[in-house]
Chains A and B, each alone.
Chain A
Amino acid sequence: MRMTRRKFITAAGGAGVAATTGLLRLPGAATAAPATIRLLSHSSYNEDSDKAVAKIGEAFAAQHNAAFAGEFIDQPEVAAKLTAEDQAQAGHDIVDLQDNLPTIHKNFLVPLDDVVAEIEKEFGAFYPVAKDSGYVEGHWLSLPWLGNSELAVYRSDYFAQAGEPIPSTWNDVLRAAPKLKQIGHPVGIAISQTEDSNAALYPLLWAFGAGVTDTQGRLAIDSPATNAALDYVRALAAQMDSAVYSWDDGGNNKDILSGHGSYTINAPSIYLRAKREKMAFAGAVRHAQPPAGPRGRFFYVDIHGWGIMKFGSNIGLAKQLLRSMYSAESQKVFLTLGQGYDMPVLPRFDANPPYAADPQLRPELNYMPHAHLAAYPAGPDARAEKAYQTFIIPNMFARAAQGASNKDAIAFAVKALTDIGYSAK
Chain B
Amino acid sequence: MGDDVTESAVRRPQVFPRRLRRPGLGAESTVAWGMLAPTLLLLGLLAVYPLLYALYLSMTTAQVGAPGRFVGLANFLRLPHTAIFALTLWNTVLYTVSAVAVKLALGLVLAFVLAQRAPGMKWIRSAVLVPWVAPISLSVLAWTWMFDSTFSVFNWVLMHLHLISGPIGWLGTPRLARFAVVLVNVWSGLPFFGITFLAGLVTIPQELYEAATVDGVGALGRVRRITLPLLRPVIATVVLFSVVMTSSDFATIFVLTHGGPMNTTQVLSTLAFRLGLATGDLGNGAAISLYLFPALLLATTVQARLMRRTWQW
The answer to whether the Cβ of B282 comes within 8 Å of any Cβ in the partner chain is yes
Chain A, Cβ-Cβ closest to B166: A241
Closest to B149 in A: A243
* B-side contacts of A104, CB under 8 Å: 63-65, 279-280
CB atoms of B279 and A382 under 8 A apart? yes
Within 8 A of A (CB), among B252-296: 257-263, 273-282
Could you tell me the distance in whole angstroms from the C-beta of A249 to the nearest C-beta in chain B? 10
Please determine whether A254 and B83 come into contact, CB atoms closer than 8 angstroms: no
The answer, yes or no, to whether B211 is at the interface (CB within 8 Å) is: no
Asked if A246 and B278 sit within 8 Å, CB to CB, the answer is: no
Whether the pair B282, A245 counts as a contact (CB closer than 8 A) is no
User: A260 vs B167: C-alpha distance in the bound complex, in angstroms?
Assistant: 12
Contact B260 A106 (CB under 8 A): no
User: Which residue of B is nearest A81, CB measured?
Assistant: B277
| B172 interfacial contact with A, CB 8 Å | yes
Q: How far is the CA of A37 from the CA of B172 in the complex (A)?
A: 43
Q: Let me know if A223 is at the binding interface, CB within 8 A.
A: no
Q: CB of B201 within 8 A of chain A?
A: no
Give the distance in Å from the alpha carbon of A260 to the alpha carbon of B263 in the complex.
Answer: 28
In the assembled complex, the CB of B142 is this many whole angstroms from the nearest CB of chain A, namely: 15
Is A194 on the interface with B (CB-CB < 8 A)? Answer: yes
A390 to B288, CA, bound (A): 14
Inter-chain CA distance A415–B82, complex, in Å, is: 8
Whole-angstrom distance between the alpha carbons of A416 and B84 in the complex? Answer: 7
A83 within 8 A of B: yes
Instruction: Evaluate contact between A398 and B261: CB separation under 8 angstroms.
Output: yes
A367 CA / B83 CA spacing, docked (Å)? 37
A79-B277, A382-B279 known; A86-B65 Cβ under 8 A:
yes
A389 lies within 8 A of B278 (CB): yes
Is residue B177 within 8 Å, beta carbon to beta carbon, of the partner chain? yes
**Which A residues are in CB contact (< 8 Å) with B64?**
82-83, 86-87, 104-105, 107-108
Determine if A27 is an interface residue (Cβ-Cβ < 8 Å).
no
For the complex, what is the distance from the CA of A246 to the CA of B176, rounded to whole Å? 11
- A419 partner, pick from B83, B259, B273, B274, beta carbons under 8 A: B83
Is there contact, CB below 8 Å, between A254 and B151?
yes
Instruction: With a 10 A CB-CB cut-off, give which of A84, A107, A241, A245 has the most chain B CB atoms.
Output: A245
Assuming the contacts A104-B64, A382-B63, A416-B83, asked whether A80 and B277 have C-beta atoms less than 8 A apart, the reply is yes
Q: Using Cβ atoms and an 8 Å threshold, which residues of chain B touch A247?
A: 149, 172
Judge whether A245 and B172 touch: CB under 8 Å.
Answer: yes
Q: Known contacts A104-B280, A243-B169; is A194 also within 8 Å of B261 by CB?
A: no
B66 at the interface (CB under 8 A from A): yes
Q: Are B170 and A399 in contact (CB under 8 A)?
A: no
Alpha-carbon distance between A221 and B177 when the two chains are bound, in angstroms: 28
B281 touches A382 (CB 8 A): yes
In whole angstroms, how far apart are the Cα atoms of A248 and B144 in the complex? 10
Given contacts A382-B281, A386-B279, A260 and B274 within 8 Å (CB-CB): no
Does A113 sit within 8 A of B, measured CB to CB? Answer: no
**In the complex, are the beta carbons of B277 and A192 less than 8 A apart?**
no
Contact with B along A378-403 (1 / 0, CB 8 A): 00001001100111000100110010
Residue of B83, B147, B273 with most partner-chain A CB within 10 A: B83
Given known pairs A243-B150, A390-B84, the reply for A84 and B261 (CB within 8 Å) is no
Report the bound CA distance from A47 to B112 in whole Å: 50
Known contacts A243-B167, A390-B274: does B63 contact A248 (CB below 8 Å)? no
Write the nearest CB–CB distance from A396 to chain B, whole angstroms: 9
Total number of A-B contacts with CB less than 8 angstroms?
A: 124
Q: Which residues of A contact B257 (CB under 8 A)?
A: 193, 246
Query: Is B173 an interface residue when CB atoms closer than 8 A count as contact?
Result: yes
CB proximity of A353 to chain B, nearest CB, Å: 31
The chain B residue sitting closest to A193, CB to CB, is: B260
Q: How far is the CA of A389 from the CA of B166 in the complex (A)?
A: 31
A28: interface (CB < 8 Å): no
Contact B281 A192 (CB under 8 A): no
Interface residue total, chain B, C-beta cutoff 8 A: 37
Distance to closest chain A CB from B57 (angstroms)? 9
Contact assessment for B83 and A415 in the assembled complex, using a CB-CB cutoff below 8 Å: yes
Interface string of A173-204 (1 = CB under 8 A from B): 00000000000000000001110000000000
- Which residue of chain B has the shortest Cβ distance to A416 in the bound complex? B83
Contact A105 B84 (CB under 8 A): no
Smallest beta-carbon distance A286→chain B, Å: 21
CA distance A395 to B261 in the complex (A): 8
Tell me the B39-80 residues at the A interface (CB within 8 Å). 63-66
Q: Chain B residue with minimal CB distance to A415? A: B83
- Bound Cα distance A192, B173 (Å): 11
Distance between Cα atoms of A141 and B177 in the complex (Å): 41
Q: List the A residue with the shortest CB-CB distance to B152.
A: A243
Question: What residues of B have a CB within 8 angstroms of the CB of A258 in the complex?
Answer: 150-151
B195 close to A (CB within 8 Å): no
The chain A residue sitting closest to B167, CB to CB, is A243
- Which residues in A have their C-beta under 8 angstroms from that of B262? 193, 395, 398-399, 402
Over the window 234-252 of chain A, the binary record of Cβ atoms lying under 8 Å from chain B Cβ atoms (1 yes, 0 no) is 0000000111111110010
Residues of A within 8 A of B275 (CB): 386, 389-390
Query: A83-B278, A104-B280, A105-B64 in contact; A242/B172 too (CB < 8 A)?
Result: yes
For residue A255, CB closer than 8 A to chain B, the reply is yes
Q: Once the chains bind, are A193 and B263 in contact (CB under 8 Å)?
A: yes
Tell me whether B279 and A246 are in contact (CB under 8 A): no
- Answer whether residue A22 sits at the interface, using C-beta atoms and an 8 A cutoff: no
The reply to whether A246 and B65 contact each other, CB–CB distance below 8 Å, is: no
Let me know if B171 is at the binding interface, CB within 8 A: yes
Q: How far is the CA of A255 from the CA of B150 in the complex (A)?
A: 6
Using Cβ atoms and an 8 Å threshold, which residues of chain B touch A245?
169, 172-173, 260-261
Q: Select one of B260, B278, B282 contacting A76, CB under 8 A.
A: B278
| A72 adjacent to chain B (CB < 8 Å) | no
| A248 CA / B151 CA spacing, docked (Å) | 13
Bound CA span A138–B62, Å:
24
18 A/B residue pairs, CB under 8 Å, sorted by A = A79-B278, A79-B279, A83-B277, A86-B65, A87-B64, A87-B282, A104-B279, A194-B260, A245-B172, A246-B171, A246-B172, A247-B149, A247-B172, A258-B150, A386-B275, A386-B281, A398-B261, A415-B83
Return the 5 tightest CB-CB contacts between A and B, nearest first.
A246-B172, A243-B149, A245-B172, A107-B65, A193-B260
Binding site for B on A (CB under 8 A): 76, 79-80, 82-84, 86-87, 104-108, 192-194, 241-248, 251, 254-255, 258, 260, 382, 385-386, 389-391, 395, 398-399, 402, 412, 415-416, 419
Assuming A243-B150, A389-B274, A390-B275, what are 14 further A-B pairs, CB within 8 angstroms? A80-B273, A83-B280, A104-B63, A193-B259, A193-B260, A193-B263, A241-B149, A254-B148, A254-B150, A254-B151, A385-B278, A386-B275, A389-B275, A415-B83
